[in-house]
Amino acid sequence: VVVVVVVVFGCGDWLSSPSSLLLGVDAHSANEWKQSRVIYQLLTDRFARENGDTSPCQDLESYCGGTWGGIQEQLDYITGLGANAIWISPIPSNTNNGYHGYWQKDLSKLNNNFGTEEDLSSLMSVAHGQDVWMMLDVVINHMGNQDDGNLNDFSSFYPFNSSQHYHSYCQINDWNDMHQVQFCRLANLPDLAQEDTFVINALTAWIRDIQNTYGFDGIRLDTVLEVPIPIWKQWTSAVDVYTVGEVDNGDPAVNGPFQGVLDATLNYPMYWTLRHVFQEEQAMNMINQSLQQQRSDFKDISVLGLFLDNHDNPRFLNIRNDRSALRNALAYILFAEGIPIIYYGTEQDFDGGNDPNNREALWPSGYDTNTQTYNFIKTLTSYRRTLSQSFYNAHQREQYVLDDLYVYTRGEVLVATTNGGQGHQTGAKVPFLPYSDGTTLCDLVNPSNCITVMDGNASITINDGEPRVFVAKSTHQ
């Protein structure tokens, strides 16, 4: 990736003379992302300090000291896991205690808690040099807290420093009232009036400048449901990289309309399905039911972001403290239709609850690459990278389901998962497998565990609660 720096970020040139053209950025499409990427989501403030500082974070509701330089220093930890894309926090300066990046204050300045322009440029360059794509988290719904408590004073924000840049004061109290959702305040944060010509032009000029300056490979969009679809259509016309948005709703019919103006959404419908199945031990036939509804409401589920944990929901192990169950859910998302997203700390078996406890500092883990979960993810992602384009273009196909067993194939991979947890035993003779008779399939994690297909059938046994990811013996030796 070649990045041509054409503007000095921070001087405001993007607002006075907005560029209408992206220069020097190799655009990566949704199709390219789905065929090659595993995303590692991190909070910049919580992933890594610089120079090996591992002293504890004293207050999870304020800055803990993570930086762009820290990410660069620990890049090998991420790539060693098998992730080859990094989703970082929003980069503008924030109001007080905006460690997460979502309380933006001045779009013309970087958040200096995370580092300098040179630090961010260096991270981009080093990551791209290792074929790691970078995803930027972006907020266009709101600005940060009004720290002085005066709800009519917008003078501290830039460039949106006038009341005309905001919707009239009201709070979101009814999430079924879409007008309220899109024109009132989320958590009392000033709600931008994107229908105002100045506001939408400034927002699109800003992202063009960011792209011209840094060359991000993809964009994650915050609070997508809270902004009308026509606004997203205008905003996305300014970028030509993969866009994936947060529609925090479990209904595919609510999510689906946003795919088209955006390339994709985070797959919250499947998040809730997997939560019900793997964390709450509900019947595993829910997976295929959810998939069928998604295929009806989305244009293309294969480019949606597939995840188990994030910064807004309790971690998997907080809801169900069973690492075997976690590995089963990870096996599912790493080979199912969608672009897998690993939330930092999952590989270290973090178990934080609601915000901010699910936003732990990673450095107390020592970036341990010997945990069972780290190596489980590494094993599966290593094989995933060897798969051909035909795998990524293939639909997953349910082969067999019980209340405690879900077996699917996708391309040449056969995945058998259980929600029974540690030590659980289940299994079945699975028919109609898409393999020639005599084909021997072996488990990626335990290669001595092999099955042979005869008459289109194979007997799959789980006797330890762990998932099985079977591939042809000749492709994994």
Cα separation, 317 vs 451, whole angstroms: 31
Three-class secondary structure assignment of the chain: CCCCCCCCCCCCHHHHCCCCCCCCCCCCCHHHHHHHCCEEECCHHHHCCHHHCCCCCCCCCCCCCCCHHHHHHCHHHHHHHCCCEEEECCCEEECCCCCCCCCEEEEEEECCCCCCHHHHHHHHHHHHHCCCEEEEEECCCECCCCCCCCCCCCCCCECCCCHHHECCCCECCCCCCHHHHHHCEECCECEECCCCHHHHHHHHHHHHHHHHHHCCCEEEECCCCCCCHHHHHHHHCCCCCEEEECCCCCCHHHHHHHECCECEEECHHHHHHHHHHHHCCCCCCHHHHHHHHHHHHCCCHHHCEEECCECCECCHHHHCCCHHHHHHHHHHHHHCCCEEEEECCHHHCCCCCCCCCCCCCCHHHCCCCCCHHHHHHHHHHHHHCCCCHHHHHCCEEEEEEECCEEEEEECCEEEEECCCCCCCCEEEEECCCCCCCCCEEEECCCCCCEEECECCEEEEEECCCCCEEEEEHHHCC
The amino acid occupying position 219 is I
Length of the chain: 477
Residue 402, token pair as written in the block? 């019980």
* 32 annotated active-site: no
Catalytic residue, from 73, 106, 246, 347: name it. 246
Which residues make Cβ contacts (< 8 Å) with residue 474, sequence separation at least 6? none
Cα separation, 436 vs 212, whole angstroms: 51
* Contact present, 215 and 24 (Cβ < 8 Å): yes
CA neighbours within 13 Å on the CB side: how many for 261? 17
* 466 annotated active-site: no
* Contact present, 74 and 376 (Cβ < 8 Å): no
End-to-end Cα distance, the chain: 34
Catalytic residue, from 45, 137, 209, 222: name it. 222
The label of the residue with tokens 């036939």 reads 285
Residues designated catalytic: 222, 246
